[in-house]
Amino acid sequence: MLYLNVDGEGPPTDDQREAVATALGTIDRAYEWSHEGLLYSIAYSPAYFGRFEASLTAAVDLPAPQSLSEFETPTFDTQDAVVHLASDRADTVLAAEEALTGEKERVNGVDVEARLTDAFTVDSRRTGFVGAGLPAQNQDVAGIPDSKPVPEDSPLFMGFTAGFVGNQATEDYVTLEDGPFAGGRIKAISNIRQRLDDWYLEQDHDDRVAEMFSPVHAEQGLVDGVGANLGDNSGIDEIPDDIVDQSREYARVGHAQKAARANRDVDGNVRLLRRHFESTDDIGSDQEVASLHFPSLQQGISAFEDVRRSMNGVDITAETPAVRQRVNNGILEYIFTRRRGNFLVPPRRHRVLPSPRPA
């Protein structure tokens, strides 16, 4: 992910728009739009839209980022834009990045005639990976105990599979239906530091299942290893929803169980499309640190904020002494939000430095 600031004050210029359109067109021609080629998006922040006299219509739910619990103090990402590049091929991501921001004159056989850096300055560059094997290979970083506990077949540092189809919103569901940005999406991106010593050294598999999914998942032995046996659904909707009673019985609550409470609309549809991936970036520190980049797509930031706040479990800590702000409370003991930013991914027709009220 490249976090970018538009050069200069106020609305972007025609020259800047032309440079961005040409730069994006170049990588469109250079790579197939697929995970074997390159997938990417460009998204714009509330601060970017603040450069214009007009404001976004109220229908676009894009407030500035804020703290979402009493115990987190993230730095807010208020850069103008973020470009998110993804591929199964690391060399493709790196080549596309160089074409967009570097000295490269040709990319995959296509001439580079303009660069994003003709209009923007890169403020922050964030990298990551996801998929079985990669977390295990990259676990020699701060935040993971020296015993190298991350299983080889885990797609995430915490040792479980995530993002089951049945627990994710569909792309259609998170697509804006009305207004000038119809076809676009709202994207929240957090970066979450992980401290997994106690997660791995003080707990066994059942403890981790209880805190990640639910104590009922642990008791019934529903999760083998990293959880591939769950198929395409974590089964969180199948367990009883008396979460406060369960917290008293088991003296803890699960992360997925808490998040799911706010993650369904009145018709039972899942609200968030989570796209998280792991990182060893050293953002804000002098060493490589295990963290999670957490982009999430939804119809509006309030959906993201509802779900994140439901993870705080304040109703549960009020009723069950054993469950405290961060202890026995899902995975909150092990994760620390370092950064958060909110963005609009415009539909393709408005992807180049859009005004808040495009025609």
Given the rule CB under 6 A, which residues bind ligand HEM? 156, 158, 160, 162-164, 167, 192, 194, 212, 234, 236, 255-256, 259-260, 263, 270, 272, 292, 294, 307-308, 311, 331, 335
Please, which residue, 52 or 173, has the CB nearer to ligand HEM? Answer: 173
The DSSP bridge partners found for residue 186 are 298, 344
CB 314 within 8 Å of CB 216: no
Dmax (CA) for the chain in angstroms is 64
Please, which residue, 156 or 316, has the CB nearer to ligand HEM? Answer: 156
Please, which residue, 212 or 297, has the CB nearer to ligand HEM? Answer: 212
Q: How far apart are the first and last CA of the chain?
A: 29
Instruction: Tell me the C-alpha distance between 324 and 318, whole Å.
Output: 9
Please, which residue, 114 or 270, has the CB nearer to ligand HEM? Answer: 270
Q: Give the tokens for residue 307.
A: 């779900």
DSSP 224: -
Please state, in angstroms and as integers, the Cα–Cα distance from residue 94 to each residue in 100, 127, 200, 287, following that order. 10, 10, 33, 22
Please, which residue, 176 or 311, has the CB nearer to ligand HEM? Answer: 311
Q: Beta strands 335-345 and 75-76: pairing type?
A: parallel
Please, which residue, 101 or 291, has the CB nearer to ligand HEM? Answer: 291
**Coil, strand, or helix at residue 111?**
strand
**Coil, strand, or helix at residue 333?**
coil
Q: What is the length of the chain?
A: 359
Q: Please provide residue 145's backbone torsions phi and psi, each rounded to the nearest 5 degrees.
A: -60, 155
Residues whose CB is less than 8 angstroms from the CB of residue 14 and which lie 6 or more positions away in sequence, other chains included: none
Instruction: Tell me the C-alpha distance between 354 and 348, whole Å.
Output: 10
Please, which residue, 116 or 243, has the CB nearer to ligand HEM? Answer: 243
**3-state DSSP helix/strand/coil % of the chain, to nearest 5:** 30, 20, 50
- To the nearest whole angstrom, how small is the minimum distance from the Cβ of residue 19 to ligand HEM? 35
Please, which residue, 114 or 301, has the CB nearer to ligand HEM? Answer: 301
Amino acid at 283: I
Instruction: Tell me the C-alpha distance between 211 and 225, whole Å.
Output: 15
| Kind and range of the H or E run holding 343 | strand 335-345
